[in-house]
């Protein structure tokens, strides 16, 4: 203790408090600096890891690009296949539509010819007349036939003969009755 008193004996309590305060201050500064450098080291390590991740991903880019090109080629091939299939389907639909129109045109032609034979026959329709309703129904069928691109004999023979038939209005019931009684 004497040695201590010799060394620090002439020092006052204020001086001791100042020294202790200075030591505490230095300790706290050390802790702050240590925390700062520790945080900075962690941030730098995280930054280095992120940079390394970017570098690793950049190294994988050629493989990803090739994979993307392959996928794009598969999609292109699939789309081309769908286009071809669609073209074939459209062609089949057109063919079916043409076939259906041809059949419908033939049915309408048959009905037109049946009407023609009936209404122009002196035996079955001796008055060579028809009712307004019969004429309207026939001409609607005739129009449908034309819309299906029907032509030929129906236009050159049937249409003029049917135009020559007399049309009896529906309100003339006595004439309609006479017409119906004259037919077989």
Angle at which helices 13-120 and 132-147 pack, to 10 degrees? 120
List, as one string, the DSSP characters of 106-127: HHHHHHHHHHHHHHH-TTT-TT
Question: What distance in Å separates the CA atoms of residue 180 and residue 184, rounded to the nearest whole number?
Answer: 8
Alpha-carbon distances, residue 10 vs 1, 22, 90, 165 (angstroms): 14, 19, 114, 151
Reading phi first (left if > 0) and then psi (alpha if -120 to 50, else beta), residue 165 is in beta
Q: What is the pLDDT of residue 37?
A: 86
Q: What's the rounded Cα separation, in Å, for the pair 179 and 127?
A: 7
Per-residue model confidence as pLDDT tens digits over 108-153: 999 999 999 999 999 999 999 999 999 999 999 999 999 998 887 8
Query: CB neighbours of 50 closer than 8 A, spacing ≥ 6?
Result: none
Report pTM. Answer: 0.57
For 15-31, the pLDDT digits (tens) are 677 878 888 988 899 88
- Cα distance between the two ends of the chain: 156
Quick check: 124 and 184 in contact, CB under 8 A? Answer: yes
What is the band of 13 on the pLDDT scale with cuts at 50, 70, 90? low
């Amino acid at each position: 203790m004497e040695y201590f008193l010799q060394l620090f004996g002439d020092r006052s309590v204020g001086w001791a408090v100042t020294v202790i305060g200075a030591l505490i201050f230095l300790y706290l500064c050390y802790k702050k600096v240590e925390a700062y450098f520790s945080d900075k080291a962690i941030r730098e390590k995280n930054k280095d890891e992120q940079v390394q991740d970017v570098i690793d991903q950049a190294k994988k880019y050629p493989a990803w690009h090739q994979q993307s090109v392959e996928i794009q080629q598969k999609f292109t091939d699939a789309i081309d296949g769908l286009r071809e299939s669609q073209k074939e389907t459209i062609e089949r639909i057109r063919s079916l539509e043409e076939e259906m129109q041809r059949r419908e045109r033939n049915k309408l032609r048959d009905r037109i010819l049946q009407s023609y034979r009936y209404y122009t026959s002196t035996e079955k329709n001796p008055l060579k007349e028809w009712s307004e309703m019969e004429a309207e129904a026939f001409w609607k069928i005739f129009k449908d036939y034309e819309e299906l691109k029907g032509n030929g004999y129906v236009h050159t023979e049937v249409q003029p003969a049917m135009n020559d038939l007399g049309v009896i209005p529906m309100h003339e019931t006595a004439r309609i009755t006479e017409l119906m009684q004259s037919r077989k």
